[in-house]
């Protein structure tokens, strides 16, 4: 691969002034019927002076090659004059946004998901961008898609099926973005491309399993909530029994304790309001 070489060619204003002078002399030669002299001046002007003028806009560059050999890159904006026989290829140094298409892939545990990413990139090495790959823009598109697919295959969508996973696509957005940016920089370094930012822009289960996975998530949430309610209810029952025993409010045998625990658990764990029942008798009659 070629190493980028930044050059600073001479100002183009002097060359443009020379072009105007030679153009005026050519016109005068034709006016005075000095055809040979006018032809020579015209050839010099339009073959050697004018083709060497080049304008470089801000955040752009010109990659110069002479007879198949890389000469250098002009990165400074301005008006310059270069060898008129060089081939000048414009390469933009601006940041590009790549809004990747939605890809249907399988996550680490095999669930089909839809994923897409937004990638911000720019050219950092113009020589590699022009000479190392055939088309650096197409190269970025293809390698970005491959990196997103590899990322999706490396992590589960969430912790439902893989509870031991430390990073998931849904829960570890920041970590996933850092890993995606790192992999893209490694893949695109060959083409002289630098990735400034990479983010997951779309993440969802595929339509054929989305409804089922939603029900599964809801069931998992309900189970977790019930587990928390039961743990809290058991703690409250233990506290109530301990306080009653501590204050000597009432002496409860094992059967009365069991009845009290049962009633408290029904009240605390039920998902509906409880209607009180006044017991005018005893537990034994």
Cα separation, 109 vs 165, in Å, equals 11
Q: 147-177, pLDDT tens digit by residue? A: 999 999 988 887 766 556 678 888 888 899 9
Residues 114-125: what's their mean pLDDT? 94
> How confident is the model at residue 18, as a pLDDT?
93
203, 76, 219: which is closest to 160 by C-alpha?
219
pLDDT-derived band at 284 (thresholds 50, 70, 90) equals low
pLDDT band at 237 (very low <50, low <70, confident <90, very high): confident
What is the pLDDT at residue 167?
A: 83
What is the full DSSP assignment across 45-112? Answer: IIIIIGGGEEEE-TTEEEEEEETTEEEEEE-S-EEEE--TTSEEEEEE-S-EEEEPPPEEEE-TTS-E
For the segment 46-59, what is each residue's pLDDT rounded down to a tens digit?
A: 999 999 999 999 99
**Which residues partner with 92 through β-bridges?**
60
Question: If residue 159 lies in a helix (H) or strand (E), which one and from where to where?
Answer: none
- Separation between Cα atoms, residue 65 and residue 80, nearest integer Å: 16
pLDDT over 90 at 81, yes or no = yes
Whether the per-residue pLDDT at 121 is higher than 80: the answer is yes
pLDDT score for 96:
95
Helix axes 173-188, 136-154, angle to 10 degrees: 140
Q: 134 and 160 in contact (C-beta within 8 Å)?
A: no
Say if residue 183's pLDDT is above 90.
Answer: yes
pLDDT for position 227: 73
**In this predicted structure, what is the pLDDT of residue 267?**
66
What integer pLDDT is reported at residue 14 of this predicted model?
93
pLDDT at 12 over 90: yes
| φ and ψ at residue 181, rounded to 5 degrees | -60, -40
264's tokens = 């408290």
Q: Cα dist. 105→110, 133, 283 in Å? A: 9, 27, 63
């Amino acid at each position: 691969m070629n190493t980028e070489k930044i050059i600073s060619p001479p100002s183009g204003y002097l060359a443009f002034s020379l072009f105007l002078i030679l153009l005026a002399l050519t016109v005068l030669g034709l006016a005075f019927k000095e055809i040979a002299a006018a032809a020579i001046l015209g050839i010099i002007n339009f073959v050697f002076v004018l083709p060497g003028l080049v304008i470089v806009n801000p955040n752009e560059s010109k990659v110069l090659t002479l007879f198949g050999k890389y000469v250098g890159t002009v990165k400074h904006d301005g008006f310059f004059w270069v060898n008129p026989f060089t081939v000048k290829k414009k390469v933009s140094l601006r940041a590009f946004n790549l809004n990747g298409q939605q890809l249907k892939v399988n996550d680490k545990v095999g669930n089909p998901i839809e994923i897409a990413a937004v990638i911000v990139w720019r050219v950092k090495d113009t020589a590699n961008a022009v000479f190392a790959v055939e088309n650096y823009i197409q190269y970025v598109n293809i390698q970005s898609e491959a990196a997103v697919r590899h990322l999706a295959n490396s992590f589960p969508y969430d912790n439902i099926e893989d509870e031991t996973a430390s990073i998931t696509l849904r829960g570890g957005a920041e970590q996933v973005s850092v890993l995606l940016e790192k992999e893209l920089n490694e893949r695109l370094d060959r083409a002289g491309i630098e990735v400034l930012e990479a983010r997951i822009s779309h993440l969802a289960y595929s339509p054929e399993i989305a409804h089922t996975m939603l029900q599964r998530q809801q069931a998992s949430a309900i189970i977790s909530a019930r587990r928390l309610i039961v743990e809290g209810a058991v703690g409250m029952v233990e506290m109530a029994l301990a306080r009653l025993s501590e204050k000597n409010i009432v002496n409860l045998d094992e059967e009365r304790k069991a009845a009290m625990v049962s009633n408290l658990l029904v009240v605390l764990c039920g998902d509906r309001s409880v209607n009180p029942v006044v017991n005018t008798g005893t537990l034994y009659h």
